[in-house]
């Protein structure tokens, strides 16, 4: 059982045995990589989600961070893997399907309240990838989740408004900024897509930060690459800060 965070929080019941049995990873245990949609492959040094890794997705509200985090799960679920999202509001069936999620293979725990660490901790190891949006982050809980993800060989994706709010190590940080909606003008019209810039920073010292232009989502609801997809950034303090909208 993953330890509860804080006092006075009721311990969440264990994951039902039937669900745990159904949610066992289906890919070979020898494989260390999980697939990604083509548009997101350049954001990761391995071109894939690494089992046991932690990815932080950071950006202000409305920047598309939830869309990006759920898109990271889409190819995993579409190829037969199980995924989970803890503390993430229901994106809507249509939006989720357009992102490529197989909803039959995604467990949503939208309101774990103070037991978010318990919920995420129980799912790590039962599924192949877990997205979590912590309502508040304690150092001890963050470090335990990171360690458990590594031990259980589950890809952990953390959502936060600011990268500095996650007080534990991460393998890749994706910072979303420079947000612009297309299709609406002069207060009217239909929103067709959201253009963003995603700064990808890997923990590996040899990997410089890169910037990637994405449609998040595009007019058909998918995540697609925009113009000037991968450009090496100069090392500046501005490059590490997401644009506020």
Q: How far apart are CA 36 and CA 34, in angstroms?
A: 7
Q: What is the SS3 assignment for 32-51?
A: CEECCCHHHHHHCCCCCEEC
Q: What's the whole-number mean pLDDT along residues 155-171? A: 92
Work out the angle at residue 11's Cα, subtended by the Cα atoms of residues 160 and 61, and round it to the nearest 5 degrees. 15
Domain assignment present for 191: no
Domain assignment present for 220: no
Q: Look at residue 19 in the predicted model and tell me its pLDDT.
A: 52
Q: How far apart are CA 245 and CA 15, in angstroms?
A: 39
Look at residue 189 and tell me whether its pLDDT is greater than 70: no
Could you tell me the pTM of the whole model? 0.78
Instruction: Name the band, by pLDDT with cuts 50, 70 and 90, for residue 242.
Output: very low
Q: How many domains does the chain have?
A: 1
Query: Domain limits at 144?
Result: 17-175
Tokens of 191: 């929103």
Question: The domain spanning residue 146 has which CATH number?
Answer: 3.40.50.300
Domain assignment present for 2: no
């Amino acid at each position: 059982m993953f330890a509860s965070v804080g006092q006075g929080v009721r311990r969440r019941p264990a994951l039902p045995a039937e669900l745990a049995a159904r949610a066992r990873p289906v890919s070979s245990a020898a494989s260390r990589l999980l697939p990604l949609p083509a548009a997101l492959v350049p954001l990761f040094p391995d071109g894939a989600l690494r089992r046991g890794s932690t990815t932080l997705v950071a950006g202000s509200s409305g920047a598309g961070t939830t869309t990006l985090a759920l898109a990271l799960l889409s190819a995993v679920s579409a190829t037969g893997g199980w995924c989970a999202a803890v503390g993430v509001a229901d994106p809507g069936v249509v939006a989720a399907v357009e992102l490529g999620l197989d909803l039959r293979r995604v467990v949503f725990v939208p309101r774990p309240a103070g037991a978010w660490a318990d919920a995420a901790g129980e799912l790590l190891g039962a599924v192949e990838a877990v997205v979590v949006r912590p309502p508040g982050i304690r150092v001890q809980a963050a470090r335990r989740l990171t360690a458990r993800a590594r031990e259980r060989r589950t890809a952990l994706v953390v959502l936060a408004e600011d990268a500095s709010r996650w007080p534990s190590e991460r393998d890749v940080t994706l910072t979303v900024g420079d947000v612009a909606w297309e299709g609406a003008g002069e207060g009217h019209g239909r929103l067709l897509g959201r253009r963003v810039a995603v700064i990808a920073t890997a923990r590996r010292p040899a990997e410089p930060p890169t910037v990637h232009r994405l449609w998040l989502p595009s007019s058909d609801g998918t995540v697609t690459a925009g113009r000037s997809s991968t450009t090496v950034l100069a090392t500046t303090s501005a490059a590490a800060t997401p644009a506020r909208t």
